[in-house]
A and B are shown apart, each in its own frame.
Chain A
């Protein structure tokens, strides 16, 4: 399979020289995100995120299963991330690269292990029936910073998702269809947002939301996950250039600002989608009445 070609010496020197002068190739500030776009699908739980040219889709779905025997009161939440060749021909099916494993773990750590989703609320009958919520992440176009885009997509899809309502009468559990009863949203405890920084060389330049080209040239990277309350969910820094604590502190403060912005953006889009749905449903209802 074809490998990603490293940038030539000319490109490398020019990009680095410009970064030292505080300029990025696409005209962004060093601490600016690319334009973020978020769209929801017709169905509940489908989020389509575009971060510049990077595009990620997350789909959340739920089904009733038996809980794990050691955790009878908890539902199950899984995240699947697989880098397919659609994102870039460099990714091969069925063969995970190191970067892919790191990416999957990072998303897992950021969202699942930070208990963003209240798994206890997914329990239907203790030890017998619970909801299994799964988030499938599909990477469509790889132009750097897939972690942030994936994280935004999963978090947005989780908030957008509605599971069918259930009622319990004695031993029988009834799963009501979406039309029968208003589906219920998931109980989300907090909204973690990832924040990828790339560092470059000795006189460290810190970038936010690196493009693929910048990612190829970086000497180290750090990803911070936070929620809007400023609680740090995880920090990951796998090797690369050392960062001094003061710089790290400064980066965290910067990340906090961005996290608040992105959380607000997701909330805004969710509200818009909700309004659109209400408007359409009302329209349908009024039509039905007219027929009667």
Chain B
């Protein structure tokens, strides 16, 4: 799975936003609001309350969306520096625009890709766009091996596994292989000094995220050029 197109800063009322289209045909918009006022019952004295809301394009949010929300919360919680924003709320909104609903699959085919990976990549871009303090940048990829589908989320610098969601039938070796491939797809290329190298050839999802962020930064800081 790759990111086909991604744009940031498209909604004026949100702190950060990103629209991402993946090669599996999913298009969605993620927006980030916060740190902002929190509902009293969700207030936490030492950290921000992270709220993720997913909305389908047809109908109202149901169990599928609830599941996705909880997966996103568990992915994003260790990444956002929630303790930098005590007594506030950080809200991540996901609005699906197009996505092919999983069709009934035969027993021999792998489960259809989920929108989790696209949603996560869009959330990360929106969080970066909002300048929310993050511990690191992560990238998510869908990997299908035989009858198993794996959503692998890795740290783009170390390749460390952050989250994995697998479905279908797979062996332990296949899972290992998926993790290895996810790591390769998600990592950005780094030279020995620890600085990110500029690579022209197309890379995986991690490289794609870096390219989008670079574009955003250049756009935001263009006012400095005149100096």
Q: A residues bordering B, Cβ < 8 Å?
A: 1-2, 41-43, 46, 48, 53, 55, 57, 59, 61, 80, 82, 84-89, 93, 134, 136, 138, 140-143
Contact = CB atoms under 8 A, between A and B. Distances in A.
Nearest to A134: B58
A41 B97 contact: yes
Contacts, number: 69
A88 B95 CA distance: 14
A86 B58 contact: no
B53 A93 contact: yes
A86 B60 contact: no
Nearest to B94: A86
Contacts of A57: 57, 95, 97
Contacts of B29: 86, 140
Interface string B34-56: 10110100000000000001010
Interface of B: 11-14, 27, 29, 31, 33-34, 36-37, 39, 53, 55, 57-60, 91, 93, 95, 97-98
Contact of B58 (A55, A61, A85, A141): A61
Contacts of B13: 53, 87-89, 141-143
Nearest to B58: A61
B58 A138 contact: no
B200 to A, nearest CB: 30
A59 B98 CA distance: 9
A292 to B, nearest CB: 27
Contact of B11 (A43, A93, A140): A140
Contacts of B93: 84-86
A59 B12 contact: no
B33 A85 contact: yes
A136 B58 contact: yes
A134 B98 CA distance: 16
Contacts of A89: 13-14, 33-34, 36, 91
Given A85-B53, A86-B11, A59 B33 contact: no
A143 B10 CA distance: 13
B11 A85 contact: no
23 contacts: A41-B27, A41-B98, A43-B98, A46-B57, A53-B13, A59-B58, A61-B58, A80-B59, A84-B55, A85-B53, A85-B93, A86-B11, A86-B31, A86-B53, A86-B93, A89-B13, A89-B14, A134-B58, A136-B58, A140-B29, A140-B31, A141-B13, A141-B14
